Amino acid sequence: MIKTILERDDLQTLSVESIAYLAIMEILEKKDPELVSSLKKELEDQRNSLKLIASENYSSIAVQMAMGNYLTDKYAEGHPFHRFYAGCDNIDSIESRACDLAKKIFGAEHAYVQPHSGADANLIAYWAILIKRIEAPFVEQLGKKNVAQLSNEEYEEVRRLFSQQKMMGLSLDAGGHLTHGSRVNFSSKMMKNISYGVDPKSGLLDYAKIKEQAIKEKPAILVAGYSAYPRLIDFEKMRDIADSCGATLLVDMAHFAGLVAGKQLKGKYNPMPYADVVTSTTHKTLRGPRGGIILCKEEFAPFIDKGCPYAIGGPLPHIMAAKLVAFTECLNPEFETYAQDVILNAKTMAKRFVERGAILVTGGTDNHLLSVDVMQSFGLTGRQAESLLSRCKITVNRNSVPMDKNGAWYTSGIRLGTPALTTRGLKKSEMVLIVDIIFDLLAAAKPLVNSEGVKSKAKVDIDEKVVNKTIEAVETLLEKFVLYPEILI
């Protein structure tokens, strides 16, 4: 007979975090034991692997706890103190305090913390910008009070004008995000998409070329930001480009928001003074719950605040509570050290890869991520490298390199990031060790060749002894860095 948590002999010795998690497991066990098994297994897997996914992190237990409660039961359409539902007093308090903290952390004129994700944040921001630029002046010109007063013909004209607008963002293979105008995403369907790339030789943004393109194309929205670009962006230059073509400058800092909050991106590398609208996720370098935020200049505020109803049916009060907790953590001086270490760790990894002879996109990194060209370095596709590393408990994701010949499925690169391992406490010397482990493993692998002599793009040929040795090395390294040591379940 399993004892309930209250009957445990060691209750007095357990941390409050362990007691909280044990209680959660006990409650869930009665509903779905299989879910509890998956939850326990996930903790074990995360504990036993080297997480190098550049967009992932480990949130605090406080952030996790703020998400799991009855706040989820509330509808709060609208925004703080301006709701379409009654009974939102406490949600008003939570959401407005989260907005105030976000403004303080980033030095923003206005904050909106409802987006459910970074993609949501971009969707809302694009609509808000188009409505401000096109719909609002159109409505005003016709002497109408709001869009609901337009006739069907007039509204059709708004829709036609929207579809004529252009957005210009970094292409996916050069490190841009799907929502920056990729053909498989809504962003290229709501506006005409013009992509800019990177210099084919250096892999770096070529600002003069982007400016030339922007002046020719005249986009309504210029997007700066990335998912896999390992360098800093000069936002002063991006501002100048936006001004030269009359575009609204939107910076998507989903990947590097934590580096801004941690005061590591200063001057022209901090997007806040230059952008009209800044979007972000809250769960990557920022280390909060899975979600999004939008920061903007005051003139955009009335439009951004209508994210619900533009694109959100109802905000998630429990997630906004967790964002509030994460923002309090960003204001802790420890967060600055963390952000500094994230970059230091990434630079250390990049340096070691180069010393060992690997080819990196742009030759290195200035931020939290690096992109290793595994095709040029090891003759492997990104897919082969990703699965082999995963077998050895090292999680990375395959990623295109600029002008990738292997396409978006197999790719020629892998993207590595340091936020999660930095949170876990790993430092420079461990980074060198990790690069050596990865390098030795990938160097020992070859693409599997079938009986007809065809090289696989997915499978590799490798001595199992090397695989086992790698797993052992990872396990030994992680023994010293227990993830969530305060949780015993």
In contact, 292 and 315? CB cutoff 8 Å: no
Q: How far is CA 171 from the centre of its chain?
A: 17
| Residue number with CB closer to ligand DSN (227 or 280) | 227
Rounded CA-CA distance 371/373 in Å is 6
The single residue listed with the structure tokens 């007809």 is 452
Rounded CA-CA distance 397/383 in Å is 8
| Residue number with CB closer to ligand DSN (118 or 197) | 118
The single residue listed with the structure tokens 């910076």 is 251
| Residue number with CB closer to ligand DSN (242 or 372) | 372
Q: State the nearest-atom distance from the C-beta of 54 to ligand DSN, in Å.
A: 6
Q: Which amino acid is at 85?
A: Y
209 in helix, strand or coil? helix
Q: Which whole-number Å values give the CA distances from 186 to 166, 173, 183, 432, in the listed order? A: 13, 18, 8, 40
Q: State the nearest-atom distance from the C-beta of 10 to ligand DSN, in Å.
A: 40
* Interface of this chain with ligand DSN, residues 5 to 64, rule: CB under 6 A: 55
Q: State the nearest-atom distance from the C-beta of 118 to ligand DSN, in Å.
A: 6
Q: State the nearest-atom distance from the C-beta of 365 to ligand DSN, in Å.
A: 15
Alpha helix (H) ranges present in 15-88?
16-29, 33-47, 61-67
Number of residues this chain uses to bind ligand DSN (CB under 6 A): 4
User: Is position 118 an interface residue for ligand DSN (rule: CB under 6 A)?
Assistant: yes
| Residue number with CB closer to ligand DSN (177 or 318) | 177
- What is the x/- site pattern for ligand DSN, positions 66-105, by CB under 6 A? ----------------------------------------
| Residue number with CB closer to ligand DSN (284 or 306) | 284
- What is the x/- site pattern for ligand DSN, positions 261-300, by CB under 6 A? ----------------------------------------
User: Is position 258 an interface residue for ligand DSN (rule: CB under 6 A)?
Assistant: no
Q: State the nearest-atom distance from the C-beta of 377 to ligand DSN, in Å.
A: 21
SS3 track for 346-410: HHHHHHHHHHHCCCEHHHCCCCCEEEEEHHHHHCCCHHHHHHHHHHCCEECEEECCCCCCCHHHH
* Interface of this chain with ligand DSN, residues 320 to 359, rule: CB under 6 A: none
The single residue listed with the structure tokens 């955009």 is 300
> DSSP class of residue 148?
G
User: Is position 227 an interface residue for ligand DSN (rule: CB under 6 A)?
Assistant: yes
In contact, 260 and 270? CB cutoff 8 Å: yes
User: Is position 219 an interface residue for ligand DSN (rule: CB under 6 A)?
Assistant: no
In contact, 369 and 342? CB cutoff 8 Å: no
Cα four-point dihedral sign 241, 245, 246, 251: negative
In contact, 421 and 477? CB cutoff 8 Å: no
Q: State the nearest-atom distance from the C-beta of 477 to ligand DSN, in Å.
A: 24
Q: State the nearest-atom distance from the C-beta of 468 to ligand DSN, in Å.
A: 30
Taking CB positions, which residue lies at the least distance from ligand DSN? 55
* Interface of this chain with ligand DSN, residues 149 to 178, rule: CB under 6 A: 177
User: Is position 181 an interface residue for ligand DSN (rule: CB under 6 A)?
Assistant: no
| Residue number with CB closer to ligand DSN (213 or 423) | 423
Site residues for ligand DSN per CB under 6 A: 55, 118, 177, 227
